[in-house]
Chains A and B, each alone.
Chain A
Amino acid sequence: MKFILIALSAILVNNIVLTRFLGICPFLGVSKKTKNALGMSGALIFVLLLSSLVSYAFYFLVLVPLGLEFLKLVAFILIIASLVQFVEIALKRFMPSLYKALGIYLPLITTNCVVLTVALDVVAVTGGVADYSFLEMIIYSLSNGIGFALVFIVFSFTQEKLANNKAIPTPFKGNAVALLAAGLMALAFVGFQGMI
């Protein structure tokens, strides 16, 4: 039951894009076409899961035993950046077709604050006890990735409609109307709060 609650919370109720306003840069910039949104979402879910796994292991196996918990922010930034480089190399060498589909989005993910925030969330400790067990961490990371993808893909449909809409006044064109649409979408997601 706890896993379902974590998943529902991360995907719908506390969606990381709409409640914490993270990942807005690709959310507005790469969602002009649904195909791009799908590619970016796939790449993000993959990197998010991988970076959370590595960060979780590094924090509890290296930083905590050495008493260097304060180093987590700097360490996670470097871990994520390095991880993305190595993932890109692996895709280039062993999975060219996947690189063709997702490779273009990997540099964007290096600086995506969703990845960093989830990595910081999963190592949160309350009263000396980790908030998430290993399995809960995986569910939480995966759900946040799915939540991001859901919002991202749905928003790309809206963006495609907005791009071809000639009824929008000139001052509202582009990011202005996109932000208004994102705000309305965030309001719609507030409706899920009664679920949990």
Chain B
Amino acid sequence: MHPALQAILAIIIVIALGGLFALGYFLNKKTKKPEGCEEITERCGSCEVTSCHFNKAHQKEGEEHDDTSK
């Protein structure tokens, strides 16, 4: 296969997969949580992974830390 065509195909595949992820993310945000799962973050108490968007407790800690650093 011609290298230029291969490069174009590679770009198309990456864009398509990126678009798939964006679509999934958008749909996931729009899908309502089932009843009883609204307060799912309560179980995050012992988790130290702060990057997770579920973990509101750690996000608050992060905000407080930012405030003190200013």
A residues sitting closer than 8 Å to B (CB atoms) are 25-26, 28-30, 32-33, 36, 62-63, 66-68, 70-71, 74-75, 78-79, 81-82, 85-86, 88-89, 92-93, 96, 99-100, 103-104, 107-108, 111
Contact = CB atoms under 8 A, between A and B. Distances in A.
A28 B48 contact: yes
A89 B44 contact: no
Nearest to A79: B17
A126 B13 CA distance: 25
Interface in B15-58: 17-18, 20-21, 23-25, 27-28, 31-37, 40-41, 43-44, 46-49, 51-54
A82 B17 contact: yes
B10 A107 contact: no
Contact of B10 (A29, A33, A68, A88): A68
B69 interface: no
Interface residues of B, number: 34
A47 to B, nearest CB: 14
Given A92-B33, A100-B36, A107-B52, A36 B17 contact: no
Given A66-B6, A100-B36, A104-B41, 13 more contacts: A33-B46, A66-B9, A68-B10, A75-B17, A81-B21, A85-B21, A85-B27, A89-B28, A92-B33, A92-B34, A103-B37, A104-B43, A104-B54
Nearest to B26: A85
Contacts of B46: 30, 32-33, 36
Contacts of A25: 49
